[in-house]
Amino acid sequence: MSSEKPHVYRDEEIAAQLALHNLTDWYLDDGWLRRKYNTDGWPTTLMLVNAIGYLCEAAYHHADLNVTWGKVWVKLKTHSAGGITEKDFALARKIEAVVLWRPEPGGPLEGTPHPFVHSKK
């Protein structure tokens, strides 16, 4: 592991990085990258929390989560660096890719008919 401290992004750099990586529903608030996911109910919320937890543990970079019946709020920050680093953007991209993934139309996987996890604000 490198002992070199990672680059901490300034606020204006964070907005540019979010746009660059198409993280349109993520935003900076109070020093954290944040995102709210909506679900179609408690079972889906629990699956979402477990999926995010798995990704965080695999990445060894852990999110703060707030959980209610049909919503999950995700907060990312690199505590050891004192701000937002590339780790946070990389994990946000992975979370987006996994939790919003749906089967291709016409493909062998039919996909759920339920709203499941979605981006409605």
Distance, CA of 65 to CA of 52 (rounded, Å): 9
Instruction: Say yes or no to pLDDT of 118 above 90.
Output: no
- DSSP E strands: which ranges in 23-70? 27-29, 32-39, 64-68
pLDDT tens-digit series, residues 92-101: 999 999 999 9
Cβ within 8 Å of residue 114, ≥6 positions away: 40, 44
Options 3.40.50.300, 3.30.1450.10, 3.30.1360.20, 3.40.50.1980; which CATH number does 29-100 get?
3.30.1360.20
Where exactly are the structural domains of the chain?
Answer: 29-100
Site of tokens 């965080």: 56
The average pLDDT across 63-86 equals 97
Q: Enter the pTM of the model.
A: 0.92
pLDDT tens-digit series, residues 2-42: 568 899 999 999 999 999 999 999 999 999 999 999 999 99
